[in-house]
């Protein structure tokens, strides 16, 4: 009798999760340092920086998916941190030039916050949760960096890490593919290769520093602004 296909689960050590965070942070910092003129334009830095958000999204999704009790309160705590730090980051983010018109779109912490909001509604399942989750996805995705593909990537990764299915993987892939169109290159896809290496070939012992990453995002933008680099330099 033939066996049905089983989608593989994502299994990461704590050290591997931290390593992915640090890699994303380094790539993001280098990209921003070049974008705002702190360093000369170096070939490949912008492209490599497109891997940062997918890594952050995957790490966030994985950490929420592995919560033992799937306690909705955990989602609320993470969402609160993202909203506070995202709001703080908006001040230097907008002063540095933003991405579009004034506050729109919101920075990438807003993208992560919208994603967690959708995850929370799916996990807690309040009355009319499907309608509420779809509304947050549609309206929230229109107001944040990387738009709907960024949210789809995070939610798809979370869904897959929680319940590995073809539908979850398709949403994850679709979000990543959307990022390649937004970015104008396919570097976001490198996040899958990095995930595979971390999951199946790397064991790293790195102390956890979860709150540092929340604080670092608004702090590094504020430092760039204080140093006087206000005009974005696009590669």
Write out pLDDT tens, residues 175-193. 999 999 999 999 999 999 9
Half-sphere exposure of 218 (CA within 13 A, CB side): 17
CA dihedral 182, 187, 188, 190 (to 10 degrees): 170
Band of residue 100 on the pLDDT scale cut at 50, 70, 90: confident
Quickly tell me which residue has 């979370």 as its tokens: 158
Quickly tell me which residue has 């952050």 as its tokens: 56
Half-sphere exposure of 19 (CA within 13 A, CB side): 16
Distance CA 13, CA 199 (A): 8
pTM score: 0.93
Q: What angle do CA 159, 163, 165 make, to 5 degrees?
A: 90
Instruction: Centre a 10 Å sphere on the Cβ of residue 126 and count the other Cβ atoms it contains.
Output: 10
Distance CA 210, CA 202 (A): 20
For residues 165 and 147, the answer to whether their CB atoms sit within 8 Å is no
Question: Would you give the DSSP letter of residue 143?
Answer: S
Write out pLDDT tens, residues 21-59. 999 999 999 999 988 888 888 999 999 999 999 999 999
Tally of helices (H runs) and strands (E runs) in the chain: 11, 0
Band of residue 229 on the pLDDT scale cut at 50, 70, 90: low
Residue extents of the structural domains in the chain: 14-226
Three-state DSSP at 229 gives coil
């Amino acid at each position: 009798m033939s066996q049905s296909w089983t989608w593989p689960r994502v299994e990461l050590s704590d050290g591997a999760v931290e390593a992915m965070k640090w890699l994303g942070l380094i790539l993001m910092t280098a990209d921003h340092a070049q974008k705002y003129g702190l360093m000369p334009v170096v070939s490949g830095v912008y492209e490599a920086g497109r891997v940062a958000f997918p890594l952050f999204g995957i790490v966030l999704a994985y950490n929420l998916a592995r919560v033992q009790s799937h306690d909705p309160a955990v989602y609320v705590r993470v969402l609160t941190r993202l909203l506070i730090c995202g709001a703080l980051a908006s001040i230097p983010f907008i002063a540095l030039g933003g991405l579009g018109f004034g506050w729109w779109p919101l920075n990438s912490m807003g993208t992560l916050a919208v994603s967690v909001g959708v995850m929370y509604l799916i996990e807690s399942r309040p009355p009319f949760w499907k309608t509420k989750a779809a509304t947050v996805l549609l309206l929230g995705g229109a107001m944040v960096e990387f738009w709907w593909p960024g949210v789809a990537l995070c939610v798809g990764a979370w869904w897959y890490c929680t319940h590995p299915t073809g539908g979850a993987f398709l949403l994850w892939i679709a979000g990543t593919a959307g990022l390649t169109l937004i970015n104008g290159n396919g570097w976001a896809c490198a996040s899958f290769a990095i995930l595979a290496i971390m999951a199946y070939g790397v064991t790293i012992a790195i102390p956890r520093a979860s709150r540092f990453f929340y604080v670092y995002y608004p702090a590094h933008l504020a430092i760039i602004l204080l140093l006087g680099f206000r005009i974005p330099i696009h590669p």
